[in-house]
């Protein structure tokens, strides 16, 4: 997704890397990543508010086929990053958001504005990321395929060798590219997906600790509690109580996460 903040700010951590962004920046996540962090109100006290555009590879492919000579940018092998908002990108977003005042214009104009937003991102420092995710043979696209497999079967034991074979990569190359793109090893990625999903089950679905542990693939509730506390700073029961208490209206920053949705999709903001 392409995410832009309108009010407030956000800190997001993926694999030990923390990125900060605010209305002067935008965030691109080209693959599904287990992320957690904090959103903050603006300095004037206005609540955090952001908009997001889900990346659709077919639209990217169409745009790239029409614009094959977009200049290349310096690149880093990663699936997420932050860049400065340009006036042109902001203008495209503003026109898209104004369509909420004239819903009858949405079918005709929204696709054009979405295309322009993607074009502006393609022109920016993270344009290579959008090109790679739309190119089936790229390392980023292959890692994205592997991530979809992990996210669908996160509760099952993970065989890295089989996963690498499924995306036509050697085990060593797969490990190297996976860590570069996600800042995590495949097993670490699976563990974070499991823990974030368990956190959702505990806080939003009323699961007990043992039931949540088994649901996300842990055979030992003790191991689950130990890894949960290491990841989130508190044992499951205490962390759940803290999160539920934080849902009460408060001007303070709120904790959030991106657990796996039931349909496997990246959450929209």
* Count: domains in the chain: 1
**pTM score:** 0.72
Q: What is the CATH number of the domain that holds 107?
A: 2.60.120
- Inside any domain, residue 77: yes
- Inside any domain, residue 255: no
Distance CA 180, CA 242 (A): 33
Residue 162: which pLDDT band, with cuts at 50, 70 and 90?
Answer: very high
- Inside any domain, residue 41: yes
pLDDT in tens, 5-19: 999 999 888 777 788
- Inside any domain, residue 180: no
Residue 46 φ/ψ region, left for φ over 0, alpha for ψ in the -120 to 50 degree band, beta for the rest: beta
Identify the bridge partners of residue 10 per DSSP, sorted by sequence position. Answer: 21, 39
Q: Residue 114 to residues 82, 95, 106, 221: CA-CA distances in angstroms? A: 19, 10, 11, 45
* Closest to 117 measured CA to CA, from 267, 3, 23, 20: 3
* Closest to 31 measured CA to CA, from 14, 50, 11: 14
Distance CA 90, CA 157 (A): 44
- Inside any domain, residue 84: yes
- Inside any domain, residue 145: no
Structure tokens at 229: 């506390």
- Inside any domain, residue 165: no
Look at residue 267 in the predicted model and tell me its pLDDT: 35
Expressed as residue numbers, the domain containing 43 is 2-133
Distance CA 22, CA 258 (A): 19
pLDDT in tens, 102-133: 999 999 999 999 999 998 988 888 787 777 77
- Inside any domain, residue 212: no
């Amino acid at each position: 997704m392409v995410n832009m903040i309108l009010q407030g700010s956000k800190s997001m951590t993926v694999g030990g890397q923390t990125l900060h962004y605010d209305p002067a920046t935008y965030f691109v996540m080209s693959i599904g990543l287990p992320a957690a962090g904090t959103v903050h109100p603006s300095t004037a006290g206005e609540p955090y508010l952001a908009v997001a555009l889900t990346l659709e590879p077919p639209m990217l492919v169409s745009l790239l086929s029409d614009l094959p000579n977009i200049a290349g940018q310096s690149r880093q092998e990663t699936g997420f990053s932050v860049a400065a908002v340009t006036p042109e990108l902001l203008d495209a977003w503003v026109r898209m958001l104004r369509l909420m005042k004239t819903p009858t214009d949405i079918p005709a104009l929204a696709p054009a504005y979405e295309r322009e937003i993607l074009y502006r991102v393609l022109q920016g420092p993270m344009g290579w990321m959008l090109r790679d995710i739309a190119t089936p043979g790229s390392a980023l696209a292959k890692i994205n395929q592997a991530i979809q497999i992990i996210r669908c079967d996160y509760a099952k034991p993970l065989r890295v060798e089989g996963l690498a074979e499924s995306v036509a990569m050697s085990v060593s190359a797969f490990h190297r590219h996976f860590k570069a793109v996600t800042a995590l090893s495949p097993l670490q990625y699976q563990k974070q997906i499991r823990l974030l999903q368990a956190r959702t089950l505990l806080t939003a679905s009323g699961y007990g600790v043992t039931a949540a542990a088994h649901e996300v693939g842990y055979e030992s509730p003790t191991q689950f509690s130990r890894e949960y506390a290491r990841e989130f700073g508190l044992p499951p029961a205490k962390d759940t109580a803290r999160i539920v208490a934080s849902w009460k209206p408060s001007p303070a920053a709120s904790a959030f996460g991106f657990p796996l949705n039931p349909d496997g999709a990246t959450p929209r903001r």
